[in-house]
Each structure stands twice: as C-alpha cells, then as structure tokens.
Amino acid sequence: MSVLDPTPETGESRPAGDDPGGVALDVLHETCYEYEAPVSLAHHLAYLRPLTDAYQILNAYSLDVDPAPAQCRDGTDVFGNACCHFTLQQAHRVLRVRAHARLRVSPRFGLLQPEAAPDWRQVRDRLRYVARAPFDPAVEFVQPSPYVPRLEALREYAQPSFPPGRPVAEGALDLMHRIHADFQYEARSTEIDTPLEEAFDQRRGVCQDFAHLMAGSLRMLGLPARYVSGYLRTHSGDGPLFVGADASHAWVQVYAPGTPGIPADGWLDLDPTNDVVPASGHVRLAVGRDYGDVAPLRGVIRGGGHHRLTVGVTTRLLGPG
C-alpha cells in the first residue's frame, strides 16, 4: 500500500505575538519486522501520522506498507489522534512500514509565564467529583493507567516541587528539572514492559520511562498528565544535543489552564529526558494516558514465532518555517 496525502494547510493563524521561530521538517520513520516463520494473518494499528493544529501543520504525509494490506482504514481514536488499521492476509516473513511526513512546526510556549499560573491546588480541586458540577475531560488523565499505576513513592517524590500556593506550571517545571537531574538516560536499560516501580528504583531508563515517571508523579498529586509520543530533532545548529530520539521520543503534558503563554486547551508540554519545554524541534504524533495508548505500531499476528525488530527515525531540517 502507498497512500500519499498532501494535506492542505489548516488556515489557522498563530496567536498574535507568538514566537515566530518555526521550522520546516522532514521525518522518515521506518519499521521492519523479520519473522522466523511465516505470518499467515496480521491485524495492525499504527499511530504514525503527526497531529496537526495551528502550531504543527502537516503539509504532506505518506504511509507505505509491504506487503500490501488486504484492508486499510484510517480513523480517529477517543483522544483525537489519527490512526490507521490495516490487515495482511497473505503469508509473509517480513513486514516493512514506512511513514514519511513533511510539516511546519512553530513554538507554542515562547510567551510562557509559569509564575502566573493558577495555584496547583486549585487545578487539583476543580477536577474532584462534585454532584452536578461541569465535567472537565482532563479528569481522565488524573486516573492510573496500565503503564502508570498509582505508586506512593511517586507522590513522595513529587511533593517537594508543589508546596502550598505554588503555581502549577512552576511546580511542573521544577519536577521536570529534578527528574532530569536524578534519573539517568541509558539506552536499553529497560524494556517497554519494565514495571514503573522498577524504573523508579533503579533511577535510570529511556524516554518512555521519564515520561511515565513524570506523569505518575503528577497524577499522584491529583494533576492531569498526558503521555506524548513523537519525534525529536536531536541537534539544531548551535543548540543543545538532545537524547532519546534514535527510534522515537516521548514526553508529557501537564494541565495548567489559565496560564499565560499556554494554548487555550491548557496543556503544557515538558520533556524531562532533556529538561526542556518543547519548541520547534519536537514533533507530536499522538497523546494518551501512557505508551500503550499510542504505540507507533502494534498488532496481533497468527504464526511468526520469534521476530527481529528494526526501527529507525530520521528528522531533517528543511529550512525556516
């Protein structure tokens, strides 16, 4: 299958005064499964199409699957992410999936004023259940999830960043700084099924662990946190060399409604792996409760036996946005 979708620009304008430092990026994501025995039937779900909004405009996108699927259906999940379901009915020992995107990314938080955010306790309290009170969808991201269970150790770890009266964005930034300082990024130090408690105890992990640790810490205080899957441009001119993007990247969003410099949806992106507020070098693919909601590619197969997985991502700067 080859789907070429030259997506028109959304027509949305950037908020007045936003930092203009946007860039044009080219992203190539290649996945290859090699099976020791033939796979006779496979159903897959892909989250490989980048999100699009006023700050991230998708100009072109293609998805190539080899062998060609018998069925393919694009859709949108409950969190608003674009996804693709495809079925392979011919026997195969190799599956190749190639996603190619060209997009323009602009900074969303250039005018952030964390000190002017609401008190973190106000954000927490507005999400508690009150009969006949308006429902805020962000409450879903306060709850535990399969990869981010409730751990009392995370509450104790997060508490020093959130003394009484501290603005929620300031507290979240402080928590990000502490996680970056206290935990070591180490490739292949964990697997995707490594329990969060184990990653916390060993004080090292990969970007998914950093994101899960921060999301879990925020949720234990009653603050909504979303997991973000995406890509990272590891080096930008004279800027810092980032880590965590040799396959794909992950970070978090904390709910800080009413904070100056945050879009109207109230979500602030934070990358604890690199200790930065994401700007034009971070490409958002999808948001969810944890990795399990937005894994780039997953599926159910018949046959196959053991397999070898190879994933590569190349993010290139094309020029100013």
- pLDDT for position 179: 98
Give yes or no: residues 123 and 77 share one domain.
Answer: no
- pLDDT for position 16: 29
Tens digit of pLDDT at every position of the chain (321 positions): 333 333 333 333 333 233 457 999 999 999 999 999 999 999 999 999 999 999 999 999 999 999 999 999 999 999 999 999 999 999 999 999 999 999 999 999 999 999 999 999 999 999 987 778 888 999 999 999 999 999 999 999 999 999 999 999 999 999 999 999 999 999 888 988 899 999 999 999 999 999 999 999 999 999 999 999 999 987 654 455 565 455 689 999 999 999 999 999 999 999 999 999 999 999 999 999 999 999 999 999 999 999 999 999 999 899 886
Angstrom distance (rounded) from CA 222 to CA 255: 11
Give yes or no: residues 244 and 146 share one domain.
Answer: yes
Contacts of 39 (CB under 8 A, 6+ apart): 88, 91, 92, 93, 95, 301, 302, 303, 304
174: in domain: yes
Whether 235 and 217 have beta carbons less than 8 Å apart is answered as: no
Give yes or no: residues 101 and 122 share one domain.
Answer: no
The residue segments making up the domain with residue 310 are 2-106+295-320
Give yes or no: residues 197 and 237 share one domain.
Answer: yes
286: in domain: no
Domains in the chain, number: 2
287: in domain: no
283: in domain: no
- pLDDT for position 192: 86
> What CATH number should be reported for the domain holding residue 63?
2.60.40.2250
- pLDDT for position 247: 62
49: in domain: yes
Whether 50 and 284 have beta carbons less than 8 Å apart is answered as: yes
Give yes or no: residues 175 and 193 share one domain.
Answer: yes
- pLDDT for position 131: 78
Give yes or no: residues 218 and 90 share one domain.
Answer: no
Which pTM does this prediction carry?
0.90
Task: Decide the pairing of beta strands 267-270 and 184-185.
Answer: unpaired
9: in domain: yes
> What CATH number should be reported for the domain holding residue 231?
3.10.620.30
Dig out the tokens for 119 from the structure: 């008190």
Give yes or no: residues 259 and 310 share one domain.
Answer: no
Q: Give the C-alpha distances (Å, rounded to integers) separating 236 from 204, 279, 313.
A: 26, 11, 16
Give yes or no: residues 122 and 98 share one domain.
Answer: no
Angstrom distance (rounded) from CA 308 to CA 269: 33
- pLDDT for position 240: 52
290: in domain: no
Q: Give the C-alpha distances (Å, rounded to integers) separating 303 from 37, 296, 300.
A: 7, 22, 10
196: in domain: yes
Give yes or no: residues 274 and 303 share one domain.
Answer: no
Give yes or no: residues 101 and 192 share one domain.
Answer: no
- pLDDT for position 130: 78
